[in-house]
């Protein structure tokens, strides 16, 4: 069994397979100790009812679907919210230390749009602790993990997977891995915007490209969550998050004129409004000329007691000190909306996250179905635990059902030739410059606010970039094969960008994270999922009705005093 990606989703699936006695290999291009999961700060959701006895999985599901603007899949939502408590139990079984009350109960806190306290946490390093816990469990089970290996293609024959092909980032060694099933857990596509909370080699759209080229489809690629507060400088760290706990603890947003502008957009909730509204407010201030010289706004916590900042926002304090030599107890932080989370992703079935390709599964941010048009804070971490377990079991059962596995020498030759051709490419176009061009196009034409003219301009610019890609030069050197990896990242970025632009053009409405200035209203006929592939373009997929036991609990949830992570 092959798992592509060694973040929380990939490791949880690997652990499930190993515990079931299945041979599994996990492959990641980043070191497993430093996967993207480790950056998640705020917490993980489960209706444990340790703090509020009235909480239930049904209420968790209702809150999730309400916040999805009714684009989330009710079946997926039920599976995640029903399985959440078991996900927490699994982490405890693996030895994770959650924050606890004095009597030993797991402590849970409010996050925005949750009716009850259901977010478990470990300081403001929850994702890091989950990653460490899963790495430790994988080591106990002696799961082999290949780090620094870039997968370039999922190998298929007659609609079924039989492995994957890739290369070592250090010395270019080729890898051909044969596997009964492949679980894709290689993240989303937020790196294709100029400002993003992802680091330079994370969430580059790899999952989208690998899945689509294997024969799978994408669902709702246009639904991308923009976090309201990413830093602007230094350039190599642009988009790094200032946790929304900064606003939750009393941080104030001001424009360049010194105005506390949230009073214009959400006078009741102010800075504690939902993520999509705050991001839109900041974007509007900047776009209308009330932003800073660098194109941002000010987030200020300097009026808070210094001890509050040190106790409640230690990671934010240290990050700004390290990156900007800025003491946030004295000075405001310059921030702007930043691409943060792919709520759409590979089309999967709700019951087991299988795809259109037999033996291929997708989980975590690579997949779709739970979040719809707005992700409820704390849900992404529990999703990867629930579906890591379920999909691991499903892949093991699929493997057991096979009596034989046909392979294709032609598929392997094609994968090998793709790498060979790029290595031989010696054109004048620079891969990194083209990546930057994609990010500029997406930022200008498919950012927080979109319109028909801008999206069509974006598609025209993308066509030019695709033409220029025919003349790239790829030049590995003594330092390694990163340039080859960047060339594949560019392929992924262009595919993900095209899917996003085409789906954003088709969704002629404003819903959650998707703001169309030329279509400001939500439209009932567009309460559908948009499914994309190069062969079919955009098709509409209906969403099953919400079960009555969940629908009856859906209501507007107050956010007073709740963190908006």
pLDDT digits (tens, 9 = 90+) for 257-271: 999 999 999 998 888
pLDDT at 448: 93
Report the range of poorest mean pLDDT among 39-48, 293-302, 449-458, 537-546.
Answer: 39-48
130 pLDDT more than 60 = yes
Could you give phi then psi for residue 341, rounded to 5 degrees? -150, 135
pLDDT tens digit string along 173-199? 999 999 999 999 999 999 999 999 998
What is d(CA 222, CA 513) in angstroms, rounded to the nearest whole number?
9
Comparing C-alpha atoms, which of 113, 223, 81 is closest to residue 527? 223
Answer yes or no: is pLDDT of 557 > 60.
no
- Picking from 166, 207, 168, the residue whose alpha carbon sits closest to that of residue 185 is 207
Q: Is 537 helix (H, G, I), strand (E, B) or coil?
A: strand
In this predicted structure, the answer to whether residue 563 has a pLDDT above a threshold of 60 is: no
Which strands sit side by side in the sheet containing 145-147, from one edge to the other? 145-147, 25-28, 2-4, 182-184, 360-362
Which of helix, strand or coil describes residue 292?
coil
pLDDT tens by residue, 94-122: 999 998 999 999 999 877 678 889 989 88
Q: What angle do CA 104, 110, 113 make, to 5 degrees?
A: 150
Q: For 157, phi and psi rounded to 5 degrees?
A: -145, 120
Bridge partners (DSSP) listed for residue 299: 253, 333
Q: Which two tokens stand for residue 471?
A: 């003349």
| Mean pLDDT on 5-23 | 97
Q: Is the pLDDT of residue 274 over 80?
A: no
The pLDDT value given to residue 564: 42
Number of other CB atoms surrounding residue 555 within 10 Å: 11
Q: Is the pLDDT of residue 561 over 70?
A: no
Percent of the chain's residues with pLDDT above 70: 98
How many C-beta atoms surround the C-beta of residue 21 within 10 A? Answer: 7
- 54 against 565, higher pLDDT: 54
**pLDDT digit string (tens) for 206-236?**
999 999 999 999 999 999 999 999 999 998 8
Looking at residue 310, what DSSP letter applies? Answer: H
Using 50, 70 and 90 to split pLDDT, how confident is the model at 353? very high
Give me the pLDDT at residue 114, please: 81
Find out whether 438 and 192 touch, Cβ atoms under 8 Å. Answer: yes
Element (H, E) at 280: helix 275-285
CA distance 4 to 187: 10
Pairwise CA distance, residues 386 & 86, whole Å:
8
> 185, 180, 225, 147: which is closest to 385 by C-alpha?
185
Catalytic residues: 275
């Amino acid at each position: 069994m092959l798992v592509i990606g060694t973040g929380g989703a990939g490791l949880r699936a690997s652990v499930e397979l190993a515990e079931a006695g299945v041979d599994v290999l996990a492959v990641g291009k980043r070191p497993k100790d430093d996967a993207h999961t480790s950056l998640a700060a705020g917490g993980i959701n489960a209706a444990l009812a340790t703090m509020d006895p009235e909480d239930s999985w049904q209420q968790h599901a209702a809150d999730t679907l309400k916040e999805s603007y009714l684009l989330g899949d009710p079946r997926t939502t039920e599976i995640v919210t029903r399985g959440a408590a078991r996900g927490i139990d699994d982490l405890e079984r693996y030895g994770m230390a959650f924050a606890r009350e004095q009597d030993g109960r797991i402590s849970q806190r409010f996050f925005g749009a949750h009716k009850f306290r259901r977010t478990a946490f470990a300081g403001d390093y929850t994702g890091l602790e989950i990653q460490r816990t899963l790495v430790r469990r994988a080591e106990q089970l002696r799961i082999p993990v290949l780090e620094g290996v870039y997968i370039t293609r999922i190998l298929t024959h007659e609609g079924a997977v039989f492995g994957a092909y890739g290369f070592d980032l250090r010395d270019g060694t080729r890898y051909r891995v044969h596997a009964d099933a492949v679980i894709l857990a290689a993240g989303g596509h937020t790196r294709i915007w100029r400002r993003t909370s992802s680091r330079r080699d994370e969430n580059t759209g790899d999952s989208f490209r690998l899945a689509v080229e294997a024969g799978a489809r994408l669902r709702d690629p246009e639904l991308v969550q923009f976090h309201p507060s990413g830093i602007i400088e230094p350039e190599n760290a642009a988009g790094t998050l200032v946790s929304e706990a900064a606003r939750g603890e009393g941080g104030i947003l001001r424009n360049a004129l010194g105005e506390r502008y949230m009073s214009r957009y959400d006078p009741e909730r102010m800075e504690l409004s939902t993520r999509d509204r705050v991001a839109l407010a900041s974007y509007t201030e900047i776009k209308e000329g009330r932003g800073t010289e660098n194109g941002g706004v000010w987030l200020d916590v300097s009026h808070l007691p210094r001890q509050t900042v040190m106790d409640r926002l230690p990671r934010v304090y240290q990050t700004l000190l390290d990156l900007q030599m800025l003491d946030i107890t004295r000075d405001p932080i310059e921030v702007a909306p930043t691409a943060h989370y792919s709520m759409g992703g590979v089309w999967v079935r709700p019951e087991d996250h299988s795809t259109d390709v037999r033996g291929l599964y997708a989980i975590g941010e690579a997949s779709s179905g739970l979040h719809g048009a707005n992700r409820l804070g704390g849900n992404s971490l529990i999703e990867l635990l629930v579906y890591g377990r379920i999909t691991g079991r499903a892949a093991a059962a699929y493997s057991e059902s096979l009596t034989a596995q046909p392979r294709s020498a032609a598929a392997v030759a094609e994968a090998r030739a793709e790498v060979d051709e790029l290595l031989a490419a010696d054109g004048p176009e620079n891969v990194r410059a083209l990546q930057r061009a994609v990010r500029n196009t997406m930022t200008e034409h498919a950012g927080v606010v979109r319109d028909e003219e801008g999206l069509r301009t974006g598609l025209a610019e993308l066509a030019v970039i695709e033409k220029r890609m025919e003349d790239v030069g790829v030049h590995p050197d003594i330092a390694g094969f990163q340039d080859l990896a960047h060339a594949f990242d560019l392929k992924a970025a262009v595919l993900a960008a095209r899917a996003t632009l085409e789906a954003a053009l088709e969704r002629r409405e404003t819903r959650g994270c998707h703001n169309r200035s030329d279509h400001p209203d939500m439209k009932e006929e567009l309460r559908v999922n948009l499914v994309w592939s190069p062969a079919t373009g955009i098709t509409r997929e209906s969403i099953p009705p919400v079960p009555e036991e969940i629908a009856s609990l859906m209501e507007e949830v107050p956010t007073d005093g709740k963190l908006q992570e």
